[in-house]
Structure 1
C-alpha cells in the first residue's frame, strides 16, 4: 500500500514503529534508581496526590525476599505522610519481622493474592472516590477510551462484598475473583491492583481511578458506553504496560508529588 500524498514512500507496518519507539525509550528514559522503601513512599505520595488516601483504609504492600512475608506501610499512617522509614516487614500471621509498628489487619488478604500469583510483587488497595462510586453502583469497568486500555481485559469484578477482609476467607474470595488479572473492582468496597512491581501497581491504580471517573461521567451524560474494539484494546494494553512507559510515568508523577 502507498500513501497518495507521497506516492514513492511505502507505508511501514505498525510493528516497526513499536520496535523503534521501544528501543528509543530504553535509551532515553533511564529509571530513577530508588530503594524499595523510597519507591513505596513515592507510591504513597502519588496515591495521595491523585485523591486516593481513603483515611487508614488505603493499603500498599510489596512482596519480601523472605518467603511468605511482605513489606507494608505501618498501620496508623495515611498515604500522604508515609516516609521510607515507615514500612515494616510482616510474616504470614502479620507478626512484625522488621521495623516498628503493626500491619493494617485488613492486609491479610494480600497473602492469598501473593500465594496464588507468583507474578505479583506489589498490591495496592484503596477506596478512592471514583472507583468506590463504581463499586457502590455495583458496576464493572467498561473499557471505552484509550486511557482505560491498560486495564483492557485485565480488570475483574467481584459482585458480592465478603465483608471487612481481616480473616482468611476474604483472602480466598478476593484472590479467586482476581484470577489472572492485574486489577479488580470489589462491589460495595473499592479496588485493588496487583503489579509485577510497585511502579506497575501504582500506574494501574492511578489509571483505574481515572477510568472509573471517566465511565461514571460519560454514563451520566450519554448512557451506556461502547467498549473499544477488543483487538485494538489488547494492542493498546500491551503497549501502555511496557515497563519503560510504566516506570517513566511513575517518575513523572513522583516529580509532581515532590
Structure 2
C-alpha cells in the first residue's frame, strides 16, 4: 500500500524540501566561471542585444565587483577576460574597460547588502513590454518566483551613466529581486550568481508569455495566497543551483571555452 496518500500537503512539502536538500547537487565553479557561464546561458536564452547589458558580482574586497569588458558580447565572455573594478570603475584586474553604465550597480549593492550578483539586460520580450509601460503580470505557476517580486520603474531616466540613475533604479528595485525598466530592459538580482541567472532567465520568459496572453485576451490573475505559496516553493537555493547546473550543462556540451 502507498504510504503517502493520507499525508497532509504541508508534510509532503516538508519531505520534498528535505529530499531536494539531500539529493540536488551543488557545483564547484568559481565566481568568475559562474559569471562566464551565466553570460553564455543568457545569450542562449534571448538576452543578446549586441553590446548592451552588464553582469556583475561582488569581488573579494568591499566595494569591488567583477564585470565584463565593454566591446565583448555575452557569447564571448570567459572566466579569464572578466574585469575586477572598484566603485569608480577603475580596473583592479584585467584589461580593457567596463561598461560606463555599470555605475548604477554600485547603488544597488550599497542599498542591498543581501545582493551579491546583478544582471541587467535588454532581451526582446522584456524590451517590448517595457515600451508599453506595462508592469510584469505573473499569472502562471512556473513564473511565481517573480510573484510580488518584480518592481516596475515607469519613468525612463535616460542613459544610466549618472549617479541620479543609480539612485532611481536602486530605489525602484526596493526589496524585490527584479525590476522592469520602462523603455529600457530588466534588472535581476540574487544572493548568488545562480539565483540572479535563474531570475533573469525567468523574467524574459514571463514577458514573452505575457505578450502572448495579452494578444489573445485579458490576463486572469491568480489568487495572492497561491501565488505566494508557489513563490516560496520554487524560490529555494537548491532549485536555483539545479536549474543553473542544467543550463550550464547545455552550454558545456557545445563549448567549454568560457571556463578558460
Query: How would you bin the TM-score normalised by the shorter chain?
Result: over 0.9
Give the match for residue 209 of structure 2: 214
Instruction: Provide closer, same or farther for how the CA distance between residues 11 and 49 of structure 1 changes in structure 2, counting only shifts above 3 A.
Output: same
- Write the distance in 1 (CA, Å) between the matches of 2:71 and 2:40: 16
In the other structure, the counterpart of 1:167 is: 162
Alignment of 1:77-116 (within 5 A): 77-116=72-111
CA–CA distance in structure 2, aligned partners of residues 26 and 194 of structure 1: 23
- 163, 169, 172: which one aligns with 1:177: 172
Distance 1:25 1:146 in 2: 19
Pick 1 or 2: higher relative contact order, CA cutoff 8 A, min separation 6. 2
Who is 1:245 aligned against? Answer: 239
Find the aligned partners of 1:22 and 1:86 in 2 and give their Cα distance. 38
CA shift at 1:9, angstroms? Answer: 8.0
The runs of 5 or more residues in structure 2 that have no matched partner are: 253-260
TM-score (norm: length of structure 1)? 0.94
Supply the distance in 1 between the matched residues of 2:4 and 2:188 (Cα, whole angstroms): 44
Q: TM-score, normalised by structure 2?
A: 0.93
**Offset of 1:241 from its aligned partner?**
1.1
- Rounded to whole Å, the distance in 2 between the matches of 1:167 and 1:38 is 30
Q: Which deviations, in whole Å up to 9, do the C-alpha atoms of 1:106-140 show, x marking residues without a partner?
A: 11100000000000000000100000011011110
Q: Please, what is the CA RMSD of the aligned residues?
A: 1.4
Pick the aligned partner of 1:136 from 124, 131, 140: 131
The number of residue pairs the alignment matches comes to 251
The structure 2 residue matched to 1:42, chosen from 34, 37, 40, is: 37
Matched, 1:151 2:134: no
Q: Give distance in 2, aligned partners of 1:181 and 1:206.
A: 16
What is the deviation of 1:86? 1.4
CA-CA distance at 1:238 after TM superposition: 1.1
State the partner residue of 2:122: 127
How big is the shift at 1:10?
Answer: 6.7
Change (3 A) 1:100 1:146: same
Pair 1:55-2:50 in alignment? yes
Q: Which sits farther off after the overlay, 50-59 or 186-195?
A: 50-59
Aligned partners of 1:58 and 1:78 also within 8 Å: no
Give structure 1 stretches of 5+ with no counterpart.
Answer: 1-5
Alpha-carbon distance in structure 2 between the residues aligned to 1:51 and 1:9: 41
User: Measured at CA, do residues 9 and 172 of structure 1 come closer, stay the same or move farther in structure 2, by a change above 3 Å?
Assistant: closer
Which residue of 1 is the match for residue 59 of structure 2?
64
Per the alignment, do residues 213 and 9 of structure 1 end up closer, same or farther by CA in structure 2, a change over 3 Å counting?
closer
Q: Deviations over 1:133-183 (max 9, x none)?
A: 110111100111111101000000000000010110000000001100000
Q: Secondary structure at the residue paired with 1:165?
A: coil
